[in-house]
A and B are shown apart, each in its own frame.
Chain A
């Protein structure tokens, strides 16, 4: 009962926040009516997907302060589980997605248990390494199509197929994704007020203090890492059905890992709205950089340079991102 109340209770936010959130929600709900451009629609879907990736990352990376740059491996596990199961055994999305989550979370325990013995930069580097190793393994594994990857052929199915999540029009994907997005927000709203959420925020600040308050620091980190992984894996499964053509290079690459972390870091790590704000800024920027500067102006790779710059600026200037600036202004005004 209390859990339910905490999930839906947003009353600790100022009214302005809630009004803005409400306006954004109405915009999102009516978006397909407002715009018929397929480019805008695909950008919007990207925005929602990366918001959810960011929300997941935010649990361990934001609230827990453990910079994880290896989330792409779990995108891959989710995506491949769904794709393989659909192609080989015709298992629908709603079955393969939870199975993918189980695989991903299982793998996250294997990875997380030893990795959380490391701290700070060492942890970040180790997560990059594990993610890249898994990507390389998938590239030589014939069962999952090796480097060529897997293709879900929509001709075999009869869209709209709600069980297998195969659609012709993006609008179906958009609304399903919006459902995940809202559930994600509710979950994080509960999480930040839960015992684990409080413990993580204490761990982020001072692990010795956390230990002396009876917190099993290592276990709390491993648990949260699993939660973050579940978020990412669900989106990985969705990604497989949406993109329909997955290969290790674009589902499990380092760029994906960095993008995921960047959403939350730019928007505001350790806050509910942070990852959403980050995605709202970065995804349009990414489309612009890639399509326009990259393709038209011939500046291939400029997007990665810009991301690197943003990471440096955020971590040096305002570690709590855009939301951190908003909070700072508010505090100053209150005084």
Chain B
């Protein structure tokens, strides 16, 4: 049974159609990339799935339950976590305290939340940074803190929104290792929005491509890289022939 089923989801903002009739499904233990040029509607789709935006039409089924009309916190409590592109976690909370906020979803006890947070931090090799304020950290570390915080909620499915944007190659390797850890060792199903192609192509089992709010392709990374529709979306009509010649 599919873990997540997105069925004909459409999202309008006034007259602007951000997502148009998008359908796909995600199996348990898959790692799926969601790519597309700027403004393709990737983040909007994440917001719809996570319950931050109400969908205009369509259904979203998570773990066999219809979550279309649930509020964001109710979706999160069912095991669907997401990270944010621009991470503005509590400015006056330390790294460890941030992760504790996530852990507090599943427990009321401060000591339990604390020990769980420490485990996650050690797991993502963030334990050295535990006492820093998030705002004091470099972007790369902040992105890993967002992942740690989301993991605190003990999710079945993790939606990662551009965790590698703005990082240098060395840092991308680190975050890649973190994602692999989370996916293969903790067994969390992952869907990620990413602009850094080498990362998406390297780790995704499957890639879904959006352009102007529509799904234009879906398949394994090798096929997607050669797909004329995808090349057209990214580079323009001219390049389709150049590359295929």
Does B88 contact A211, Cβ atoms closer than 8 Å? no
Q: Which of B71, B88, B110, B113 contacts A209 (CB 8 A)?
A: B88
A212 and B105 contact, Cβ closer than 8 Å, known pairs A195-B113, A204-B90, A205-B88: no
A residues in contact with B33, CB < 8 Å = none
Does B71 contact A213, Cβ atoms closer than 8 Å? no
- For the side of the interface on B, what is the size category? 20 to 34
Sampled A-B contacts (8; CB under 8 Å) = A199-B104, A205-B92, A206-B88, A211-B71, A213-B149, A213-B152, A215-B101, A215-B105
Does A211 contact B89, Cβ atoms closer than 8 Å? no
A residues in contact with B125, CB < 8 Å = none
B residues in contact with A179, CB < 8 Å = none
Chain A residue, CB-CB nearest to B135:
A205
Does B90 contact A201, Cβ atoms closer than 8 Å? yes
Shortest Cβ gap from B49 to chain A (Å): 11
Q: Which of B52, B110, B111 contacts A194 (CB 8 A)?
A: B110
The A interface is mostly helix, strand or loop, or mixed, namely helix
Interface size on A, residues (CB 8 A): 24
Does A211 contact B104, Cβ atoms closer than 8 Å? no
Does A213 contact B153, Cβ atoms closer than 8 Å? yes
Shortest Cβ gap from A56 to chain B (Å): 20
A residues in contact with B102, CB < 8 Å = 213
Task: In the complex, identify which listed stretch (B75-83, B185-193, B219-227) lies at the interface while the others stay far away.
Answer: B75-83
Does A206 contact B82, Cβ atoms closer than 8 Å? no
Is A193 close to B, CB under 8 A?
A: yes
Is B93 close to A, CB under 8 A?
A: yes
Chain B residue, CB-CB nearest to A271:
B92
A contact residues vs B (CB 8 Å cutoff): 2, 6, 193-195, 198-199, 201-202, 204-206, 208-217, 270, 320
Q: Which of A193, A195, A199, A209 contacts B89 (CB 8 A)?
A: A209
Q: Which of B50, B91, B104 contacts A212 (CB 8 A)?
A: B50
Does B89 contact A215, Cβ atoms closer than 8 Å? no
Give the distance in Å from the alpha carbon of A218 to the alpha carbon of B111 in the complex.
26
Shortest Cβ gap from A99 to chain B (Å): 29
Does A195 contact B104, Cβ atoms closer than 8 Å? yes
B residues in contact with A204, CB < 8 Å = 90
Does A195 contact B153, Cβ atoms closer than 8 Å? no
Q: Which of A198, A205, A209 contacts B100 (CB 8 A)?
A: A198
Q: Which of B50, B73, B152, B153 contacts A217 (CB 8 A)?
A: B73
Does B90 contact A205, Cβ atoms closer than 8 Å? yes
Q: Digitize B43-56: 1 where CB-to-A-CB distance is under 8 Å, 0 elsewhere.
A: 00000001110000
Give the distance in Å from the alpha carbon of A2 to the alpha carbon of B112 in the complex.
11
A-B pairs, top 4 by smallest CB distance, nearest first, are: A211-B72, A214-B105, A214-B76, A205-B90
